[in-house]
Structure 1
Amino acid sequence: MDTTHSQMQILLCDDDEDDRMFFSDAIKELKMQNVLNVFETGLQLMDYLNHPETYLPHILFLDINMPCKSGLECLKEIRENSKFRDLVIAIYSTSASEQDIEETFTNGANIYIKKPADFNKLKKTIHQVLNINWQYHTAGLNKETFFLSI
């Protein structure tokens, strides 16, 4: 896999059609150089990631609560594969339960984002996450900086 693209490669995996639409609209309005690939299920996401010609994206926004294969199952599978060790994973969920936050933290997610209900907050959140220097941020990863609240 290669990350030499000039555009930021972004993946979103979310089973909720409205959430996918709002996220896509927010990305468009940010006017950043990016390519967004969207998946409805964890199965589709894992098929895409495991395809030999797939380029490693810069970041994956991953919903937790999905049918068939949950975001947590995808997270565990991704972190078990060494070719994805540098993939930044942002959990992107309506849940703010301590159990979900703890489980995703201990299983290797980089950040946990509670989905904002407000479109402008969503844009601000996405913009902030896409502008994090992940190489530096991951080195100092701790539970206090894991949950993003805007």
Structure 2
Amino acid sequence: MALTVMNIVLADDDADDRMLFEEAIEEIEIRTTLSLFQDGKQLMDYLLSPNVILPEIIFLDLNMPIKDGMQCLTEIRKNATLRHLCVAIYSTSSSEQDIEETFVNGANIYINKPNTYGALKKVIKKVLQLNWQYHTSALNRDNFLLRL
């Protein structure tokens, strides 16, 4: 049986956060390819480019320059080709308003950026191991916010 490789995308304007995320993904025993973007415009240009291999999961920071995570989420959900993608909001914000707004706009899960490397690895692994078909069919406010 061929091992499948999970295609992951991270859009985050913080260079340190991108680097830590990349290191954590490499240490998790799940085969992945990771594409990194520093703003929402780069992400959307990539997703809408011809012949793109769409990711299984997009980790999306909310607060980014040029085009923020909420704008990307809205565009993804309005686009017939992208609508089915799993979007994990990945943000330092723990504001109820941000959580509610991303839930209403169709994000699959909301993750507060962990403040330790160990917690980061744990949260990424948990998200990658989710059974997304089950998770998204049973999506409700209680399982939307990922708590470790």
The match for 1:48 is 46
Following the alignment from structure 1 to structure 2, what is the Cα–Cα distance between the partners of residues 52 and 76?
20
Q: How does 1:1-150 map to 2 (within 5 A)?
A: 6-150=4-148
Corresponding residue SS for 1:12 = strand
Following the alignment from structure 2 to structure 1, what is the Cα–Cα distance between the partners of residues 30 and 116?
20
Following the alignment from structure 1 to structure 2, what is the Cα–Cα distance between the partners of residues 19 and 103?
23
Corresponding residue SS for 1:82 = coil
Note the alpha carbon deviations across 1:107-134, whole angstroms, 9 max, x for none.
0000000000100000000000000010
Q: Give the residue type in structure 2 aligned to 1:40.
A: Q
Following the alignment from structure 1 to structure 2, what is the Cα–Cα distance between the partners of residues 48 and 31?
26
Residues matched between the structures, number: 146
Following the alignment from structure 1 to structure 2, what is the Cα–Cα distance between the partners of residues 82 and 140?
22
Following the alignment from structure 1 to structure 2, what is the Cα–Cα distance between the partners of residues 84 and 73?
14
Following the alignment from structure 1 to structure 2, what is the Cα–Cα distance between the partners of residues 65 and 7?
29
Q: Give the residue type in structure 2 aligned to 1:39.
A: F
Q: Percent identity?
A: 57
Following the alignment from structure 1 to structure 2, what is the Cα–Cα distance between the partners of residues 136 and 84?
19
- Residue segments in structure 1 that go unaligned for 5+ positions in a row: none
1:85 is displaced (CA, Å) by: 2.1
Corresponding residue SS for 1:148 = coil
Following the alignment from structure 2 to structure 1, what is the Cα–Cα distance between the partners of residues 59 and 95?
18
Moved beyond 3 Å, runs of 4+: none
Note the alpha carbon deviations across 1:11-35, whole angstroms, 9 max, x for none.
0000000100110010011132110
Q: Give the residue type in structure 1 aligned to 2:37.
A: F
Note the alpha carbon deviations across 1:62-82, whole angstroms, 9 max, x for none.
000001100000000000001
Corresponding residue SS for 1:104 = helix
